């Protein structure tokens, strides 16, 4: 059987990306906590506040409105060239990969081909519409860039020039490194790499920010069947959480990631890049969550390493324990990797409280999605509190919210 060179390239790039990301996560520790006065409200009303002490459950902030401008694409500006790309490594990467591809296509006036979705192994491949709402994607970009579902007849995908694009690509980088190849070849394939997992907003708003905002926060929604499964799981979690008025905590805690990366302290700051189940249990109890609190963890199936968390919070659940039985074969099967990651991303984005036990792009892009909807209860266990002292959850609000320094604050106002 002939080997597709594109699959080999995708495999090499994926391995390279994970190596780079591993190094970045080791360096990219959670920021130290910022202590807040819970009786004060920011000028924009973003900070989560409560008039009475109701424990760690706080009211959501205001739902913000998109403040980007949707540009108009003039027909005379359209190019005959096409840009292809693939979505890889999960939804936390997808939102960034989509944003970069749209920014590049808009700058070059190129036609964007709807991407496929690829896993870490050659042959792990899905169509975009298997996971995401393709009509939503096309309609959102209408008038911004031209979008087609496939390359025109006569253009061979395997012969396209491959161009590497840094995440959050700038117009200067496009002009210098991408445009010359596009003009010479006519059609190109983009691969995004991540020199940093930082999603902080820039000091100044750039021309490309509106395009990136629209693409990052306006184009990707789960296709109807996936959305139905997510909603059924959210309903189940809220039903289980009757004693906390339907509120629950989502924790990004994946045992396989913890085992690969390790959770060692930074000698200089004392902070860590990830926390295990026992530490998360201690953290949640220290800031006032009761033992009947419902906790959702992003681990797919139960692992003995989660026992320490369940011992403290008996209502701790994974996907396999709350997903409708009739959906498990499709969404928790051997080749369901993409569905599982999308489910985790959206449940974490829509929970009442989100706790990132692992520093990285999942945390950063879930935070961005939560900010726009006012779900600002993102609690980061940068330093596990002393069990002998009570602490307020306000002390551990993510710096993305407390400092309003996430890129999402360039997009929502």
* 168 and 229 co-located in one domain: no
pLDDT recorded at residue 48: 35
* 104 and 240 co-located in one domain: no
* 79 and 53 co-located in one domain: no
Does residue 133 carry a pLDDT above 90?
yes
Identify the band that residue 73 occupies on the pLDDT scale cut at 50, 70 and 90.
Answer: low
Phi, psi (deg, nearest 5) at residue 376: -95, 5
In a domain, 16, yes or no: no
Write down the mean pLDDT value for the chain.
83
**What is the C-alpha R_g of the chain?**
22
Q: How far is CA 26 from CA 180, 253, 358, 363, in A?
A: 36, 16, 11, 15
**Higher per-residue pLDDT: 372 or 233:** 233
pLDDT in tens, 158-201: 789 999 999 999 999 999 999 999 999 999 999 999 887 778 88
248: number of CA atoms within 13 Å, CB side? 28
* 355 and 371 co-located in one domain: yes
Query: How far apart are the C-alpha atoms of 97 and 17, rounded to whole Å?
Result: 13
In a domain, 10, yes or no: no
In a domain, 306, yes or no: yes
* 183 and 108 co-located in one domain: yes
Last residue of a domain, one of 193, 218, 243: 218
When divided into structural domains, the chain yields a total of 2
Question: Residues 204-233: what's their mean pLDDT?
Answer: 91
In a domain, 245, yes or no: yes
CATH number for position 236:
3.40.50.11350
* 157 and 106 co-located in one domain: yes
Last residue of a domain, one of 184, 218, 252: 218
pLDDT recorded at residue 38: 36
In a domain, 297, yes or no: yes
Query: How far apart are the C-alpha atoms of 187 and 350, rounded to whole Å?
Result: 39
Last residue of a domain, one of 218, 247, 278: 218
Query: How far apart are the C-alpha atoms of 62 and 68, rounded to whole Å?
Result: 18
pLDDT recorded at residue 313: 97
pLDDT recorded at residue 4: 55
In a domain, 259, yes or no: yes
Residues spanned by the domain of 405: 41-64+223-410
**Higher per-residue pLDDT: 258 or 282:** 282
pLDDT in tens, 86-118: 999 899 999 999 999 999 999 999 999 999 999
């Amino acid at each position: 059987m002939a080997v597709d060179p594109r699959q080999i390239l995708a495999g090499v790039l994926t391995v390279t990306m994970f190596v780079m990301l591993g190094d970045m996560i080791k360096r990219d520790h959670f920021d130290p906590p910022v202590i807040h006065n819970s009786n004060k409200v920011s000028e924009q009303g973003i900070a989560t506040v409560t008039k009475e002490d109701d424990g760690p459950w706080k009211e959501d902030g205001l739902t913000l409105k998109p403040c980007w401008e949707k540009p108009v694409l003039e027909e005379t500006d359209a190019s005959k060239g096409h840009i292809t790309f693939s979505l890889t490594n999960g939804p936390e990467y997808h939102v960034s990969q989509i944003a970069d591809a749209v920014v590049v296509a808009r700058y070059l006036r190129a036609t964007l081909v709807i991407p496929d979705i690829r896993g870490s192994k050659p042959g792990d491949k899905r169509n975009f519409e298997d996971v995401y709402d393709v009509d939503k994607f096309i309609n959102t970009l209408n008038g911004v860039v031209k979008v087609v579902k496939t390359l025109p007849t006569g253009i061979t995908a395997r012969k396209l020039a491959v161009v590497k694009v840094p995440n959050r690509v700038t117009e200067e980088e496009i002009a210098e490194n991408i445009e010359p190849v596009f003009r010479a070849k006519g059609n190109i394939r983009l691969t995004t790499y991540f020199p940093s997992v930082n999603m902080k907003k820039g000091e100044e708003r750039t021309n490309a920010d509106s395009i990136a905002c629209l693409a990052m926060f306006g184009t990707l929604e789960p296709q109807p069947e996936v959305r139905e499964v997510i909603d059924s799981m959210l309903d189940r979690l809220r039903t289980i959480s009757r004693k906390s008025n339907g509120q629950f905590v989502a924790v990004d805690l994946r045992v396989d990631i913890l085992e690969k990366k390790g959770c060692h302290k930074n000698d200089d700051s004392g902070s860590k890049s990830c926390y295990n189940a026992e530490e998360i249990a201690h953290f949640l109890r220290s800031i006032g969550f009761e033992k009947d609190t419902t906790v959702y963890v992003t681990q797919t199936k139960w692992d003995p390493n989660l026992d320490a968390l369940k011992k403290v919070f008996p209502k701790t659940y994974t996907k396999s324990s709350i997903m409708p039985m009739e959906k498990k074969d499709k969404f928790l099967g051997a080749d369901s990797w993409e569905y599982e990651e999308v489910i985790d991303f959206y449940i974490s984005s829509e929970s009442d409280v989100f706790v990132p036990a692992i520093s990285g792009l999942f945390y950063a892009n879930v935070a961005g999605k939560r900010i726009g909807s006012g779900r600002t209860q993102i609690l980061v266990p940068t330093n596990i509190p002393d069990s002998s002292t009570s602490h307020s959850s306000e002390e551990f609000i993510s710096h993305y919210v407390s400092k309003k320094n996430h890129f999402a604050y360039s997009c929502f106002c």
